[in-house]
Amino acid sequence: MQTVKLNNSIEMPLLGFGVFQMTDAGECERAVIDAIDTGYRLIDTAASYQNETQVGNALKQTSIARNELFVTTKLWLQDTNYEGAKAQFERSLNRLQLDYVDLYLIHQPYGDVHGAWRAMEELQQAGKIRAIGVSNFHPDRLADLIAFNKVAPAVNQIEVNPFNQQLHAVPWNQSRGIQPEAWAPFAEGKNGLFQHPVLTAIGQKYGKSVGQVVLRWIFQRGIVSLAKSVRKERMEENINILDFELSSEDMLQIAALDTATSAFFSHRDPAMVEWLTGRKLDV
């Protein structure tokens, strides 16, 4: 798997496997094992997914060396402060049964993000985290975080798909040395993505699925992407995107699909902020 070099020189795979919404313990554990067997080396979880234990169990069963894996988890909102971040991180590390994680992200741009960030800087200095970053941060929130802290985020994990292409945010992040990472690259199939005539036609041209076209499009934009499936044949399909290249015409056709609107919700919607910040989890 090809990698990208983060702003602290850490190598991160350009395609990863996510476990969001994998709530069945056995299914999640089996999916992670299958993903690693298929060739995925980046595994992305979060405290709020409540499946870190299953991910850790799966990692224990693989024969792949720890230094060949890239494990990401995330800080949930209720502990987004200095002391809370340190405590929640240790709980995540214990559930994952690891000595360190490769990437630790602030999951949402609310709460005392500056206090949490200072805690993460210290955890990184202590060798417990190789790279630190954020998720769902708009450029204005990132600019604020960068201005008042020593370490700039290495990664910003945001929604990127053909209907929400982040045409301002992605280059802004890249211009400041922050690696964009796409969650929900398929928009969870919303808006008929898998049947979209433009994506279908491009796929037919190369003998590829719509999913492969989307992941290749993200790959060619220099964005890390997270594909999710519990089916091994789909995992194999999703990782097989390195044997073709989209033309500039293909890229323009996909660019025309952008609506600049989330397929899910706005992180600037006060009602959504209230819901997210009120979501207390046993993490």
Q: Which residues, in sequence order, are bridge partners of residue 194?
A: none
At 159, give phi and psi (nearest 5°): -70, 125
Angle between the N-to-C axes of helices 113-125 and 82-96, in degrees from 0 to 180, rounded to the nearest 10: 50
In the residue annotation, 49 being an active-site residue is answered as: yes
Rounded alpha-carbon distances, angstroms, from residue 212 to 65, 180, 241, 246: 28, 19, 6, 11
Residue of 49, 82, 104, 206 marked active site: 49
* Residue 155: burial class (beta carbons within 10 Å; 0-12, 13-18, 19+): buried
- Rounded to whole angstroms, the Cα distance separating 102 from 3 reads 14
- Rounded to whole angstroms, the Cα distance separating 231 from 251 reads 28
Query: Pairing mode, if any, of strands 11-13 and 3-5?
Result: antiparallel
Nearest Cα neighbor of 39 from 10, 5, 14 is: 14
Query: Pairing mode, if any, of strands 42-44 and 15-18?
Result: parallel
Residue ranges of the annotated binding site for substrate are 107
Contact by Cβ (8 Å): 88, 77 = no
Active site residues: 49
